[in-house]
Amino acid sequence: MSSTDTAVPTGGSAADTAAIDAAVSAAAAAARDLTDDAAVWGVLYDHGLAWVDFPRGSGGLGVSGSLRAYAHAAVEAAGLSQPDPRRNTIGFGMAAPTIAVHGTEDQRKLLRDIFTLSRIFCQLFSEPGAGSDLAAVATRAVRDGDDWRVTGQKVWTSGAQNADIAILVTRTDPDVPKHKGLTYFLIDMKQPGVETRGLRQITGESEFNEVFLDDAVVPDSRRLGDVGEGWRVANTTLNSERVSIGSGAPREGGMIGVVASAWRSSTKYRSPVLRDELLGHWVDAEVQRTSGMLLNQKLAAGRPGPEGSGAKVSFSRTAQSLSDLDLRMRGVDGLRYDSWEDRRPTDYSMTGRNPVYRYLRAKGNSIEGGTTEIILNIIAEKVLGLPGEHRTDKDVPFKDMPR
Amino acid sequence: MSSTDTAVPTGGSAADTAAIDAAVSAAAAAARDLTDDAAVWGVLYDHGLAWVDFPRGSGGLGVSGSLRAYAHAAVEAAGLSQPDPRRNTIGFGMAAPTIAVHGTEDQRKLLRDIFTLSRIFCQLFSEPGAGSDLAAVATRAVRDGDDWRVTGQKVWTSGAQNADIAILVTRTDPDVPKHKGLTYFLIDMKQPGVETRGLRQITGESEFNEVFLDDAVVPDSRRLGDVGEGWRVANTTLNSERVSIGSGAPREGGMIGVVASAWRSSTKYRSPVLRDELLGHWVDAEVQRTSGMLLNQKLAAGRPGPEGSGAKVSFSRTAQSLSDLDLRMRGVDGLRYDSWEDRRPTDYSMTGRNPVYRYLRAKGNSIEGGTTEIILNIIAEKVLGLPGEHRTDKDVPFKDMPR
Amino acid sequence: MNDIDLLPTDIDEDLRTNVRALLAARASAQDVSRVYDEPGFDAPAVDAGLFDELELAGLVIPEADGGDGAGLSAAGTVASEIGRSAAPSLFLSSAVVASRVVFRAAAAERRTGADGPAHKLLRRLATDGTTAALAMDVTARKWSGSLHVTANTAGPSAADDPLEPGAAVELIGIVHGVADAHRADLLVVPARTVGGALVIAVADAADARVTVFPSLDETRRLSEVKLAGIRGQVIAVGDGAQRALERALIDTLAVLACEQSGIVDAAFDSGLEYVKERRQFGRTIGSYQAIKHRLADAWIAANQLRAAAVAAVRTVDASDAGEVSRADAAIAVRTASAYAKTHTSHIVEEILQFHGGNGMTWEFPIHLLLKRAKLDEVMLGGAEAQRDELGRLVDL
Amino acid sequence: MNDIDLLPTDIDEDLRTNVRALLAARASAQDVSRVYDEPGFDAPAVDAGLFDELELAGLVIPEADGGDGAGLSAAGTVASEIGRSAAPSLFLSSAVVASRVVFRAAAAERRTGADGPAHKLLRRLATDGTTAALAMDVTARKWSGSLHVTANTAGPSAADDPLEPGAAVELIGIVHGVADAHRADLLVVPARTVGGALVIAVADAADARVTVFPSLDETRRLSEVKLAGIRGQVIAVGDGAQRALERALIDTLAVLACEQSGIVDAAFDSGLEYVKERRQFGRTIGSYQAIKHRLADAWIAANQLRAAAVAAVRTVDASDAGEVSRADAAIAVRTASAYAKTHTSHIVEEILQFHGGNGMTWEFPIHLLLKRAKLDEVMLGGAEAQRDELGRLVDL
């Protein structure tokens, strides 16, 4: 997506940073009298400072993605408000990069709404029968004049109850092999055919949703990419990696910090063996942090490596091991819970609540966002060049596949 | 192989034990004046007391294999000498059961030689290109009148330098798929076409051999089973399980005993963490022993289960973990070796010599006699009923397979 | 040790069949889930079946005291079935833990020839439907003697020590994390006198303030138990009390290992079934070799745990019958327990992972097994604690 | 900590290229195997190349003392290449371990403004081809002060304490398991005086009785070193000696982690190549998912170890430059070392297993890496020892 024409593997040319500096000056001038944050964000978008690597006119300046951190700092230095991406995670992280690549001119107007937080997005990808194997989605979309009618069930949708629009993968042709019959849409969540139900988790609460689509309507103008091109579009979504800003987590960030603090504050259940176990996890967490630092430095130097693909595997293992130790090392206090009541949390933290919650919630870390098994497969095949798994599902019409 | 016609799953009928008792009495009478052990063993064989479950005339009485222990004890009680199977391990454990099932009348005469230790056997199965995948053997046997001419290379042959006869798997037809072109022979090791070389291991010594066959001769009368039936015959060999006698190993038998004794005798490098590690292995070893006890009891009760198939996996893991700890826990003394000289040991023990030897030798435990990976596959497929691995090598002519 | 018979007896098999049928009918995943959703609900049909219909209250209590005299082996069979369904039952807390404490206390009485209060209590537990819970921190590795309950001689007596079995005492203190106290009739209370002597007393649970708090496994609810000077009766004193409790905790760990084995078997069976049906990328996930190997590993551990758990209960019974030493029994139990505490949660976690996102949902029963597995892991000390105790027994 | 630059510099890359080319030519598996077969053979071409041709003796020695002043980071680069081929070299023992002890001792001198014996020795090590070995048990976690060498003031002096740097002493004692003593020119000897003070002295190795014994890794041979009252010169005393040795051992662990990272990378590369070629059951064994997942895990660990090892040497250099604290450096080193000692042998063992029977043969080079990996694991204390030291640093 970068429009820089230099082959030098660096973070961006001097011309690029100059372009950013100029845009920031112009935006600061334009926003001088604005008091409403959203209005300021609109100005930033209009000056190409939303995602600087996006094309001009789509919230960007067409410079290298590695300059996002530079731009973010420049806008901040100019005293301008910036939106918190965590308030529209799917919008920023998944919808925007996909729309920027595959969207029509009309669809690209949504980018401004995403950036200014005026339209919140959620994701309708996974289904009960399509977990790791996303291409197995069975939710049907059928053409109906200028519209499509969508029927099916989606799962693991966070924020569905508060979302305005969803990115949606559907099956439009069951007579061709499964990767070929998919189509990608941007569907309005606030309509009668869309029902959202909490999906209760082993923690007792409903952090995610099931979404039932029953003859829900999406206009053909909200189709992203061609009919039958849904798999390719979805891969743009899944491959969108948010550019990390800053130099990574601090030492003892995350679960290790919680457990180390607990250990320091109580001597009740200490033993040399548990201490050694804790220190083993401390080492793992610190080595992961160091690896992330190296990766960031490589990225900043324009030399990204494949090493990042292992980070999630290590993260989930360490989070699971630590939360397990945390529960075990506290005696009865490690067993206390707050409530098993089915609730819809407005926000949550993997390191929050209590040891039981953290232990149970961490079990999902090796599943959500790509199971450990899938990631190890990807590393083995894409990075190490080992043969792919034997597959029989690539050439059979979807409707004829055993499910 | 049992000729008992009862369906009751017990250790054998009263008629069977009576048959054994009668045979022992007769053998004791016949052996009364014999002073030579081998002559006594011949008498035992002739009275069906070699392997009581073999057919009459082949060293057995056609009773249940679970009565081997009973027969062994009865012969011992009668004061008669019995051969040590460890002096002809391949003969007793692999050749004899295979010859008993597949041998011609003439070939079955070898059973007496095996039992009386007058012919020592070795095994020529594995090849450099056929490890876990035995059916991939490439050693060619070509018909030459009443003989066959054998050319190829075999590996991992223990005792080849002292053996008289080898059980041998060869390829006689490369134009058919690999499992179908194999033929099984009993080949004379003492001939010019057979050259035995020590195969040096990471311990420095040559515990095993490579055997080079260069136009070696084997008469067609020493073919075991039909031409092309070698895979089926070899499976009889591989499935031969020696009936275990007695109630299993004592507590702290094997590697755990060596390491626990070392721990008790020196306080130099103890720490709570290493102690916990050692105790973890102690628990594993004891649980394996208990499982073996249960398996023996089931076997004795005529109710064998599949649980034994996991024993070797656990054994090798524990042996490897313990020998590793043993090396680490002794400081410099754990690093001392005796000699890296290439030697041909006359006998050896996995628990012998020193920690370095045991550490290195134990690495082979998860490879020899079926790798851990192969055993886990077998458990998953044969015991748990999970699908087999995708294979492309079953229907292609051997000569056309990539190797 | 070599002579312990590990094969199931016909009586074991019958018992297993009966308990399994009962729990299949009354402790389905839906039944068990209700316990989490309704803090006041304890699935009473389960214990009505186990105690009233199958009459298992006296399973481990000698016939002379009105029980079945079936020994710990039979209790292990029941516990493994309870583990399979993570059933909410007082069986472990009352018919094993509390009953074995009283049994061991009664055995001390027997040695002195007395048919004292422990024997009488044992008969009540075996015959009249009375249930009991041990007022001890469920995660405590041992009764250290530094517990939180003080026993005073009741009434205005001057001398606190020595107390005799049968003596009336006043019990004062708080114990955190007592299992199943909220629905037991009696509390068996380890305590020390002001003078420092150790006693085991029994008290009416109704006299105590028992406050349930939400915890990891609601099928075995935990409480704070507050004893505000309530009346109790001493059933064991001094070294006898100490030894009775020590041995009863060994007994408990043995039965707990059987429960853990049942949890593993149920998780494994459901996991195996799931991977044979669930398809991804056109294949059942059970056809993927990485999954196959991990299931094979789980199968190996499940088999070994089953053998070790049976060996533990059988060896305790053999020790009670004078056939092997107490040390042999303790070694078998600590071994099985350390193994169970190392592998049970791990295997359930593996099976949960194979369920993918489904494993994280309330709907799939695997989470009920996970919670029970983790509670069992920390009960009476974790794997490390068991190995430490084992080390003392085998001179390592 | 966040500001340590972990990217390779051009100088690093050049150094790596040169060392790799040299070792490819002179430390093939056959070359290295000869060391096992010929107890008197130490593959001298390797060190001729590293010391005489590439002039690496003074790599970590300051320019002011005649060295390159390249810092520990450069030594890590060399060590990782040496690890890749399990090359028999004095580099670690002399150019890192001994040199860093003397460097740290010299730094203590510098603080007092003296250009004393440590500085002079440092210059010899950097410039005149002299090599040295540290007379310490290679498996010792730290210099506890309870070592086996006693230093007496030489000659008929009455007072043993205090000794000054430069003083002549008599060294008496035996040290078991000294690395590379048999081919070093000098011995750097930590010792205590009869009065109990700690000193570091240097002595001619030729004066000592050095007896090589066969051991796990013949590419870094171990000896008993017997000092029968030989003459030595003190280079550091008291707290300065203690601190110099402590810091030098931290330095060594950092470089050792780089060596371990090199071992892992070489094992991984050869394993990956093997599984792509070796076929069983009609497929390459690298197509089996269980193998794929285990290789992916090894790859993750190899990457992390590489990052941690570089962070360790770079953080020590940053600490020497006053940019971060000594505690930060020690934390980075203990972390990398604990990680290296946990994973290196394990990964090599995995790769050996993937080689099947071939991995057990003398012919395949994987055994050379296994032996070096295991030696490195126990050098200066195992993983547990590193974690214990780390715990003190991070208040756990």
* Contacting residues of D for A383, CB less than 8 Å apart: 296, 299
Lowest mean pLDDT among A356-360, B393-397, C385-389: B393-397
Domain residue limits at C335: 243-393
pLDDT digit string (tens) for D232-289?
Answer: 999 999 999 999 999 999 999 999 999 999 999 999 999 999 999 999 999 999 999 9
A252 is catalytic: no
Confidence of residue A8 (pLDDT cuts 50, 70, 90): very low
- Give yes or no for D214 touching B (CB within 8 A): yes
In this structure, are C273 and C226 located in the same domain? no
Assign residue C258 a region: left if phi > 0, alpha if psi is -120 to 50, beta otherwise? Answer: alpha
Mean pLDDT, to the nearest integer, of D217-237?
A: 95
* Contacting residues of B for C384, CB less than 8 Å apart: 276
Interface B-C: count of C-beta contacts within 8 A: 122
Cis peptide before C162 (omega within 30 of 0): yes
Contact flag B396-D282 (C-beta cutoff 8 Å): yes
The closest alpha carbon to B229, from B172, B180, B298, belongs to B180
pLDDT, averaged across chain C:
93
Domain containing residue D283: CATH number: 1.20.140.10
Tally of domains in chain D: 3
- Give yes or no for C277 touching B (CB within 8 A): no
pLDDT, averaged across chain B:
91
Residue C178 within a domain: yes
Query: Can you tell me the distance from the alpha carbon of D59 to that of A259, in angstroms, rounded to the nearest whole number?
Result: 41
- Give yes or no for B402 touching A (CB within 8 A): no
Question: Coil, helix or strand for D149?
Answer: strand
CB A262 within 8 A of CB A255: no
In this structure, are D23 and D118 located in the same domain? yes
- D88 Cβ contact partners less than 8 Å away, ≥ 6 residues apart: D27, D32, D35, D42, D43, D46, D218, D219, D220
Q: Is the pLDDT reported for residue B12 higher than 70?
A: no
Best of C280, C352, C379 to disrupt the A interface by mutation (most A CBs within 10 Å)? C280
Residue C4 within a domain: no
Angstrom CA distances, A264 to A257, A269, A270, A329, D386, stand at: 10, 11, 10, 12, 19
- A58 Cβ contact partners less than 8 Å away, ≥ 6 residues apart: A100, A108, A111
- B127 min Cα distance to partner chain D (Å): 10
Query: Can you tell me the distance from the alpha carbon of B374 to that of C16, in angstroms, rounded to the nearest whole number?
Result: 35
Catalytic position from the list B195, B210, B241, B389: B241
Contact flag B273-A271 (C-beta cutoff 8 Å): no
Q: Which helix (H) or strand (E) holds A170?
A: strand A165-171
Contact flag D299-A297 (C-beta cutoff 8 Å): no
Query: Can you tell me the distance from the alpha carbon of B21 to that of B46, in angstroms, rounded to the nearest whole number?
Result: 15
In this structure, are C253 and C234 located in the same domain? no
In this structure, are C117 and C161 located in the same domain? no
- D14 min Cα distance to partner chain A (Å): 18
> What per-residue confidence (pLDDT) applies to B347?
76
Q: Which helix (H) or strand (E) holds A148?
A: strand A147-157
- Can you tell me which residue has the tokens 């069930």? A153
- Minimum CA–CA partner of B208 in chain D: D361
The closest alpha carbon to A127, from A89, A99, A169, belongs to A169
* Contacting residues of D for B156, CB less than 8 Å apart: 357
The tokens describing C152, both together, are 């005073």
- Minimum CA–CA partner of D334 in chain A: A283
Mean pLDDT, to the nearest integer, of D139-148?
A: 73
- Give yes or no for C356 touching A (CB within 8 A): yes
Query: Can you tell me the distance from the alpha carbon of C318 to that of D106, in angstroms, rounded to the nearest whole number?
Result: 70
Of C127, C156, C189, the residue that ends a domain is C127
In this structure, are D328 and D383 located in the same domain? yes
In this structure, are D212 and D337 located in the same domain? no
* Contacting residues of C for B389, CB less than 8 Å apart: 289
Contact flag A335-C176 (C-beta cutoff 8 Å): no
DSSP notation for A295-344 = HHHHHHTT---GGGGGHHHHHHHHHHHHHHHHHHTTGGGGGB-S------
- Give yes or no for B392 touching A (CB within 8 A): no
- Give yes or no for C392 touching D (CB within 8 A): no
Query: Can you tell me the distance from the alpha carbon of A125 to that of A127, in angstroms, rounded to the nearest whole number?
Result: 7
Instruction: State phi, psi for A63 to the nearest 5 degrees.
Output: -105, 180
Of D181, D215, D238, the residue that ends a domain is D238
CB B283 within 8 A of CB C387: yes
Neighbours of A230 (CB within 10 A): 29
pLDDT digit string (tens) for C131-175?
Answer: 999 999 999 998 765 555 677 765 545 455 568 888 899 999 999
Best of D138, D343, D348, D362 to disrupt the B interface by mutation (most B CBs within 10 Å)? D362
Interface A-B: count of C-beta contacts within 8 A: 9
Handedness of CA D5, D7, D9, D14 (dihedral sign): positive
Lowest mean pLDDT among A260-274, B181-195, D34-48, D281-295: A260-274
Mean pLDDT, to the nearest integer, of A320-334?
A: 96
Contact flag D139-B204 (C-beta cutoff 8 Å): no
Residue C123 within a domain: yes
Domain containing residue C44: CATH number: 1.10.540
Task: Note the Cα D174 to chain centre separation in Å.
Answer: 21
* Contacting residues of C for D288, CB less than 8 Å apart: 289
Contact flag C396-B248 (C-beta cutoff 8 Å): no
Three state DSSP letters for chain B: CCCCCCCCCCCCCHHHHHHHHHHHHHHHHHCCCCCCHHHHHHHHHHCCCCCCCCCCCCCCCCCCHHHHHHHHHHHHHCCCCCCCHHHHHHHHHHHHHHHHHHCCHHHHCHHHHHHCCCCCEEEECCECCECCCHHHCCCEEEEECCEEEEEEEEEEECCHHHCCEEEEEEECCCCCECCCCEEEEEEECCCCCEEEEEECECCCCCCEEEEEEEEEEEEHHHEECCCCCHHHHHHHHHHCCCCCCCCCCCCCCCHHHHHHHHHHHCCCCCCHHHHHHHHHHHHHHHHHHHHHHHHHHHHHCCCCCHHHHHHHHHHHHHHHHHHHHHHHCCHHHHHECCCCCCCCCCCCCCCCCCHHHHHHHHHHHHCCCCCHHHHHHHHHHHHCCCCCCCCCCCCCEHHHCCC
Interface A-C: count of C-beta contacts within 8 A: 126
Catalytic position from the list A76, A127, A210, A241: A241
> What per-residue confidence (pLDDT) applies to A12?
59
Angstrom CA distances, B54 to A134, B27, B97, B184, stand at: 58, 17, 8, 21
Mean pLDDT, to the nearest integer, of A335-359?
A: 92
Mean pLDDT, to the nearest integer, of C56-62?
A: 96
Query: Can you tell me the distance from the alpha carbon of B196 to that of B217, in angstroms, rounded to the nearest whole number?
Result: 16
Best of A271, A273, A277 to disrupt the B interface by mutation (most B CBs within 10 Å)? A273
- B220 min Cα distance to partner chain D (Å): 29
In this structure, are C108 and C170 located in the same domain? no
Best of B275, B278, B332 to disrupt the D interface by mutation (most D CBs within 10 Å)? B332
Best of A275, A276, A389 to disrupt the B interface by mutation (most B CBs within 10 Å)? A276
Contact flag D353-B371 (C-beta cutoff 8 Å): yes
Domain containing residue D196: CATH number: 2.40.110.10
The closest alpha carbon to A356, from A386, A332, A382, A384, belongs to A332
In this structure, are D120 and D146 located in the same domain? no
* ipTM, 2 dp: 0.95
Mean pLDDT, to the nearest integer, of D71-99?
A: 98
In this structure, are C27 and C79 located in the same domain? yes
Residue C90 within a domain: yes
As separate numbers, helices (DSSP H) first and strands (DSSP E) second, chain D gives 11, 9
* Contacting residues of C for A389, CB less than 8 Å apart: 281, 283, 288
> What per-residue confidence (pLDDT) applies to C85?
97
* Contacting residues of C for B377, CB less than 8 Å apart: 289, 292-293, 296
Lowest mean pLDDT among A299-313, C57-71, D62-76: A299-313
pTM of the model: 0.94
The closest alpha carbon to C33, from A345, A206, A340, A327, belongs to A340
DSSP notation for A241-292 = -PPP-SS-PPTT-THHHHHHHHHHH--TT--HHHHHHHHHHHHHHHHHHHHH
Contact flag A340-C177 (C-beta cutoff 8 Å): no
Q: What residue type is C115 in one-letter code?
A: D
- B216 min Cα distance to partner chain C (Å): 41
Q: Is the pLDDT reported for residue C221 higher than 50?
A: yes
Residue D5 within a domain: no
Contact flag A287-D305 (C-beta cutoff 8 Å): yes
Diameter of chain A measured on Cα atoms? 71
pLDDT, averaged across chain D:
93
In this structure, are C119 and C144 located in the same domain? no
Handedness of CA C60, C61, C62, C67 (dihedral sign): negative
The tokens describing B18, both together, are 């009576």
> What per-residue confidence (pLDDT) applies to B6?
32
Of D238, D268, D300, the residue that ends a domain is D238
Query: Can you tell me the distance from the alpha carbon of C344 to that of C284, in angstroms, rounded to the nearest whole number?
Result: 25
Three state DSSP letters for B115-176: HCCCCCEEEECCECCECCCHHHCCCEEEEECCEEEEEEEEEEECCHHHCCEEEEEEECCCCC
- Give yes or no for C385 touching B (CB within 8 A): no
**D 33-92 → C contacts, CB under 8 A:** none
> What per-residue confidence (pLDDT) applies to D1?
44
Residue D1 within a domain: no
- In the DSSP assignment, the letter for residue D185 is S
- Can you tell me which residue has the tokens 């208990």? B290
> What per-residue confidence (pLDDT) applies to B9?
35
Question: Pseudo-torsion of CA C117, C122, C128, C129, nearest 10°?
Answer: 120
- Give yes or no for C292 touching D (CB within 8 A): yes
pLDDT digit string (tens) for A49-97?
Answer: 999 999 999 999 999 887 888 999 999 999 999 999 999 999 999 999 9
In this structure, are C29 and C56 located in the same domain? yes
Q: Is the pLDDT reported for residue B2 higher than 80?
A: no
CB D225 within 8 A of CB D209: yes
In this structure, are C51 and C116 located in the same domain? yes
Q: Is the pLDDT reported for residue A10 higher than 70?
A: no
Residue D54 within a domain: yes
Contact flag C292-D290 (C-beta cutoff 8 Å): yes
Question: Coil, helix or strand for D235?
Answer: strand
Residue D2 within a domain: no
Of C2, C5, C396, the CB nearest to B275: C396
The closest alpha carbon to C30, from C21, C15, C41, C20, belongs to C41
> What per-residue confidence (pLDDT) applies to A11?
52
> What per-residue confidence (pLDDT) applies to A55?
95
- Minimum CA–CA partner of D363 in chain B: B200
